[in-house]
Amino acid sequence: MAVIHRTTMTPTKLELLTGWLPRQDWYVGSTKTPELARTGGFRLDDPEGSVGIEFMVVVDTTAPEPVAYAVPLGYRGEPLEGAPGEALIGTSEHGVLGTRWIYDGVHDPVVTAQLCALLRGDAKPQHLTLSDTPDPTVTVDGVGPDEGRDVRVNRVLRSAKAAQALSGGIVAGWTWPDGTAARGVLAVAASS
């Protein structure tokens, strides 16, 4: 199990995402500088222990109706060879581990493999801020990916009513700025 370090990151994950998010084609915000709050998520363990994996939910509060985004992250101690340019969110100085290269998890093979393992029931979601602590609030609905199937991240999140129509998904919660709890499908098994 991965260890959560109580330390600093410079720049922070939210600072990196503030610059990166508006450049994505799935960004629906109206400003080039969103105001982001981390409102949910979970972690997965890399069986090899070298890549940090976090599935973060952030809410942009700049729009009249806040928007929740799902961003899987891969933290690495060195650059990911062969990754496309848009995959790198940025680098950050971790107070314990040194320089971390932070990637959009949909482009990181370790992150996508562990998301597929979670969908198959072969991985356990871990609490976002506690070491060695499973997160029972994250659930998997339906059958996960098998031969010829992959995982698709739902970047713009919808609350539970829309999520209930889907199967084969990773369901987790987040909190809206007004304190209202929400749940939705963060990722689904999809055909390649």
Residue 83 clears pLDDT 70, i.e. is over it: yes
Q: How many structural domains is the chain composed of?
A: 1
In a domain, 133, yes or no: yes
Domain membership flag for residue 184: yes
Alpha-carbon span 60 to 63, nearest angstrom: 7
Does residue 16 fall inside a structural domain?
Answer: yes
Indicate whether 4 belongs to any domain. Answer: no
CB atoms within 10 A of CB 129: 10
Residue 112 pLDDT level (bands cut at 50, 70, 90): very high
pLDDT of residue 12: 92
User: Is 50 exceeded by the pLDDT of residue 62?
Assistant: yes
What share of the chain has pLDDT > 90, as a percent? 66
Alpha-carbon gap, residue 180 to 42, rounded angstroms:
19
Q: How far apart are CA 183 and CA 137, in angstroms?
A: 10
Task: Please give the Cα distance from 191 to 146 (Å, whole number).
Answer: 9
With a cut of 80, say whether residue 156 has pLDDT above it.
yes
Our CA angle for 68, 73, 74, nearest 5°, is 175
Q: Is the pLDDT of residue 166 over 60?
A: no
For residue 2, being part of any structural domain is answered with: no
Residue 1 within any structural domain of the chain: no
Q: What is the pLDDT of residues 85-101, one digit of tens each?
A: 889 999 998 876 779 99
User: CA-to-CA distance for 143 and 20, rounded, in angstroms?
Assistant: 32
DSSP letter for each residue of the chain: -PPPP---EES-HHHHHHHHGGGSTT---SSSS--EEEEEEEEE--TTS-SEEEEEEEEE-SSSS-EEEEEEEEEESS--TT--GGGEEEEEEETTTEEEEEEEGGG-HHHHHHHHHHHHTSS--B-SSSTT-B-TT-EEES----TTEEEEE-SB---HHHHTT--SEEEEEEE-TTS-EEEEEEEEEEE-
Residue 167 has pLDDT above 90, yes or no: no
User: What value does the mean pLDDT take over residues 110-130?
Assistant: 92
Q: Does the pLDDT at position 165 exceed 70?
A: no
Give the pLDDT confidence score for residue 109 in this predicted structure.
95
Q: Which domain holds residue 23?
A: 9-191
Predicted TM-score of the model (pTM): 0.89
